[in-house]
């Protein structure tokens, strides 16, 4: 599958690498005991360490380390037992220390990979270069005052895992699929909540273009994109911009750019030539981090079944299509819900009910799966009633609607409303006889070779029986009567 | 690796330290001497020696993930010359 972009002078290949900043799920910060809750009053979750008061010393949060290692293991990456914290020096109002504590030459996690599921059903392996731990900066608000920026340090010092990919992606769709898969993995292991609206996951995109087969072009980095939709827009805009410059005879200058969501464009952010001169050096306040191999092994044992493994198992054990399996495993909760529904039942039927009926209703009512008025056990009960012919599939939809409204269980609704399927051949036969006798025209048509008219007869029988007649019996009886 | 005047000026700018031009030449000499000394140290073959990060065999202390700090906004903001509605305020920085 080629994913080239057309320019005026020929085809171009887009090359994308992503740096995703994922906030590690911890109650307190990477180097201080201040809280990390989202949405608190400004500067109320700031310790003297986060505010960089003189003489304060950072002390490492053991859960931050654990989350980073767990994430590395889930990305099939090399865990570096020895890693070093370094200072990345730059000045900005929301960075009180004047440097960010990060990791540079010796990160905690080395090379790994992610299998990305593409929209066309194909998969692609994207390399992970590294994952390192670092502090988040504070937040600057530029829209509170005409001449001032407002600074809130609540986020300063929160644990970030910066996950750097190889430049392996070739389209905005691949980049989006990569972020979705990474998010799914992080949520499975609980190392990051993946909430892009609240800034728990942000992406920087490195984008360059080249003629197919040519060496890599000069890249531009688009900073801090906070939704998958914006990421796609930013990459597409940026690639088109670069192609136009080169086709006009210009050159791309390496720079940092900002995505303006309102205008749908990227624009230059830091033009100073020394913007990237961070003068990293090992942080003298922090000893190197040495991990016990046993600690890493225990975390490896504790990894849950991850999306790829679960998907493979769903395809093998439940005979689901790769697409259905992919949808069901994207969120751990969805996969667990499905498995409870499918337990001891027809898996394909369970998948259909979960994906089309239940998801459809939940989306429409804007209810999260965890708050579903129909429990997985109740939905399983409904599917059981279909499977043992107590109700027809058509009646089941009405029963499901009522379950969704009232939270009642399927068997109780069927009993109370008398919706049990009519499987008594004699009773159905009587109705069939009456309808066949009452419409000689249609009978003649059928006998004249118009087989489709049988649909009309089935409809009439169903109408008479309020949909309760067993469809298979109705069909069999009609064919017998009409054919005879 | 000798340091020239231009490098001194650049480092000073990155570090936000004002170094008058008259002092840059002198500093270039001093810094070159320091680097020369470090280069001399680097001549020692240390290929098989682990970097020493502490004179005692120490491991970094870690803390459990517990909220033990925060809720001290007045103290945090106390030294700031400009404050509004619980925020630090600075001259507008817009990208």
Residues A157 and A277 in one domain: yes
Task: Tell me the C-alpha distance between A427 and A313, whole Å.
Answer: 45
Q: How far is A175 from chain B (nearest CA, A)?
A: 25
Residues A368 and A440 in one domain: no
Q: Which two tokens stand for residue B35?
A: 């680097």
Task: Look up the domain containing A319 and give its range.
Answer: 305-417
Radius of gyration of chain A (CA): 30
Nearest to A43 among B61, B73, B94 (CB): B73
Residues A280 and A367 in one domain: no
| Inter-chain CB proximity A153 and B86 less than 8 Å | no
Which pLDDT does position A116 carry in this prediction? 94
Residues A99 and A245 in one domain: yes
Buried/exposed A380-403: b ≥16 CB within 10 Å, e otherwise: bbbbebbeeebbbeebbebbbebb
Q: How many CB atoms lie within 10 A of CB A286?
A: 19
Residues A327 and A464 in one domain: no
The residue with greater pLDDT, A193 or A7, is A193
Q: Which two tokens stand for residue A466?
A: 């309020």
Residues in A closer than 8 angstroms to B80, CB to CB, are none
Which element (helix H / strand E) includes A103? strand A99-103
| Inter-chain CB proximity A142 and B58 less than 8 Å | no
Q: Confidence band (pLDDT; 50, 70, 90) for A160?
A: very high
Tell which of B8, B76, B86 to mutate to test the A interface (max A CBs under 10 Å). B76
Domain-ending residue, one of A276, A299, A322: A299
Domain-ending residue, one of A377, A397, A417: A417
3-state helix, strand and coil shares in percent for chain B, rounded to the nearest 5: 40, 10, 50
Residues A407 and A468 in one domain: no
The residues that bridge with A289 in the sheet, in sequence order, are A83
Residues in A closer than 8 angstroms to B14, CB to CB, are 89, 274, 277, 279
**Is the CA virtual torsion A442, A445, A447, A453 positive or negative?**
negative
Task: Tell me the C-alpha distance between B95 and B90, whole Å.
Answer: 14
Span B4-14, average pLDDT? 91
Q: How far is B85 from chain A (nearest CA, A)?
A: 8
Least Cα distance to A286 among A32, A16, A66 occurs for A32
ipTM computed for the complex: 0.90
Residues in B closer than 8 angstroms to A225, CB to CB, are none
| Inter-chain CB proximity A145 and B89 less than 8 Å | yes
| Inter-chain CB proximity A46 and B70 less than 8 Å | yes
Task: Tell me the C-alpha distance between B32 and B15, whole Å.
Answer: 18
Residues A73 and A198 in one domain: yes
Residues A460 and A351 in one domain: no
Which pLDDT does position A270 carry in this prediction? 62
Least Cα distance to A131 among A156, A103, A109 occurs for A109
Residues A295 and A309 in one domain: no
Which pLDDT does position A81 carry in this prediction? 97
Does B38 lie at the interface with A, CB-CB under 8 angstroms?
no
Does B55 lie at the interface with A, CB-CB under 8 angstroms?
no
**Is the CA virtual torsion A454, A456, A459, A465 positive or negative?**
negative
Provide the percentage of residues in chain A whose pLDDT is more than 70: 98
Task: Tell me the C-alpha distance between A450 and A472, whole Å.
Answer: 20
Residues in A closer than 8 angstroms to B17, CB to CB, are none
User: What is the tens place of the pLDDT at every residue in A293-329?
Assistant: 999 999 999 999 999 999 999 999 999 998 899 999 9
Residues A354 and A327 in one domain: yes
| Inter-chain CB proximity B62 and A140 less than 8 Å | no
Residues in chain B: 95
Contacts of A59 (CB under 8 A, 6+ apart): A31, A32, B61, B62, B63
Which pLDDT does position A446 carry in this prediction? 84
Enumerate residues 70 to 89 of chain B having a beta carbon within 8 A of any beta carbon in chain A.
70-73, 75-77, 82, 84-89
Which pLDDT does position A241 carry in this prediction? 95
Min mean pLDDT across A3-12, A319-328, B53-62 is at B53-62
Cα angle value A175/A266/A167 (rounded, 5°):
30
Tell which of B12, B31, B52, B63 to mutate to test the A interface (max A CBs under 10 Å). B63
Residues in B closer than 8 angstroms to A45, CB to CB, are 70-71
Residues in B closer than 8 angstroms to A41, CB to CB, are 73, 86
DSSP 3-state of A116: strand
Mutual orientation of helices A393-406 and A376-387 as an angle, nearest 10°?
160
| Inter-chain CB proximity A148 and B68 less than 8 Å | no
Contacts of A82 (CB under 8 A, 6+ apart): A106, A288, A289, A290, A291
CATH code at A452?
1.10.10.410
| Inter-chain CB proximity A34 and B70 less than 8 Å | yes
Contacts of A91 (CB under 8 A, 6+ apart): A98, B16
Nearest to A151 among B61, B73, B87 (CB): B87
Domain-ending residue, one of A265, A299, A333: A299
Closest chain A residue to B57 measured between Cα atoms? Answer: A287
User: What is the tens place of the pLDDT at every residue in A369-420?
Assistant: 989 999 999 999 899 888 887 887 778 888 898 899 888 888 888 877 777 7
Residues A190 and A329 in one domain: no
Residues in A closer than 8 angstroms to B53, CB to CB, are 282, 287-288
Establish how many alpha carbons lie within 13 A of residue A56's alpha carbon, considering only the half-sphere containing its beta carbon: 15
Residues A376 and A342 in one domain: yes
Closest chain A residue to B68 measured between Cα atoms? Answer: A33
Domain count, chain A: 3
Tell which of A37, A46, A142 to mutate to test the B interface (max B CBs under 10 Å). A46
pLDDT of A340 over the 90 cut: yes
Q: How far is B51 from chain A (nearest CA, A)?
A: 10
Q: Which two tokens stand for residue A330?
A: 């994207």
| Inter-chain CB proximity A33 and B72 less than 8 Å | no
């Amino acid at each position: 599958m080629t994913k080239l972009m057309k320019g005026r002078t020929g085809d171009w290949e887009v090359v994308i690498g992503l740096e995703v900043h994922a906030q590690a799920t911890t109650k307190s910060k990477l180097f201080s005991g201040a809280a990390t809750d989202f949405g608190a009053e400004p500067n109320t979750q700031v310790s003297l360490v986060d505010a960089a008061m003189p003489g304060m010393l950072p002390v490492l949060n053991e859960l931050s380390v654990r989350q980073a290692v767990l994430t590395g293991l889930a990305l099939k990456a090399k865990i570096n037992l020895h890693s070093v914290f370094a200072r990345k020096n730059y000045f900005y109002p929301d960075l009180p220390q004047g440097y960010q504590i990060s990791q540079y030459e010796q990160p905690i996690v080395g090379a790994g990979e992610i299998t990305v599921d593409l929209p066309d059903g194909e998969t692609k392996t994207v390399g992970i270069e590294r994952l390192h731990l670092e502090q988040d900066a504070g937040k600057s608000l530029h829209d509170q005052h005409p001449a001032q920026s407002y600074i809130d340090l609540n986020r300063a010092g929160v644990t970030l895992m910066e996950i750097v990919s190889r430049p392996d992606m070739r389209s905005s769709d691949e980049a989006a699929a990569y972020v979705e898969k990474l998010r799914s993995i992080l949520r499975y292991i609980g190392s990051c909540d993946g909430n892009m609206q609240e800034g728990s996951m942000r992406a920087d995109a490195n984008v360059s273009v080249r003629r197919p087969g040519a060496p890599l072009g000069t890249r531009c980095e688009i900073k801090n994109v906070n939704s998958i939709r914006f990421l796609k827009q930013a990459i597409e805009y940026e690639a088109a911009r670069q192609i136009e410059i080169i086709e006009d005879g210009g050159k791309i200058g390496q720079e940092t750019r900002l995505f303006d969501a309102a205008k749908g464009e990227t624009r230059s952010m830091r033009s100073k030539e020394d913007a990237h001169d961070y003068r990293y050096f090992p942080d003298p306040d922090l000893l190197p981090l040495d991990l016990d191999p046993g600690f890493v092994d225990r975390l490896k044992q504790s990894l849950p079944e991850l999306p790829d493994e679960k998907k493979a198992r769903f395809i093998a054990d439940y005979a689901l299509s790769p697409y259905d399996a992919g949808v069901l495993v994207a969120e751990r909760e969805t996969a667990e819900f499905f498995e409870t529904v499918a337990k001891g039942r027809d898996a394909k039927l369970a998948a259909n009910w979960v994906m089309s009926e239940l998801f459809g209703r939940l989306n429409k009512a804007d209810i999260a799966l965890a708050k579903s008025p129909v429990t997985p056990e109740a939905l399983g009960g409904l599917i059981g009633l279909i499977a043992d012919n107590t109700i027809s599939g058509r009646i089941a939809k009405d029963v499901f609607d009522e379950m969704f409204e009232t939270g009642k269980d399927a068997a109780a609704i069927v009993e109370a409303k008398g919706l049990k399927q009519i499987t008594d051949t004699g009773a159905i036969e009587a109705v069939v006889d009456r309808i066949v006798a009452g419409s000689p025209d249609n009978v003649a048509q059928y006998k004249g070779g118009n087989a489709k008219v049988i649909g009309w007869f089935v409809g009439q029988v169903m109408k008479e029986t309020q949909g309760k007649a067993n469809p298979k019996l109705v069909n069999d009886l009609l064919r017998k009567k009409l054919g005879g | 690796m000798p340091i020239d005047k231009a490098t001194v000026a650049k480092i000073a700018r990155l570090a936000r330290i004002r170094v008058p031009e008259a002092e840059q030449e002198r500093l270039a000499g001093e810094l070159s001497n320091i680097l020369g000394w470090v280069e001399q140290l680097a001549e020692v073959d240390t290929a098989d020696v682990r970097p020493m990060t502490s004179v005692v065999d120490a491991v970094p202390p870690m803390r459990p993930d517990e909220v033990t700090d925060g809720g001290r906004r007045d103290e945090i903001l106390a030294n700031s010359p400009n404050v509004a509605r619980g925020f630090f305020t600075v001259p507008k920085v817009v990208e």
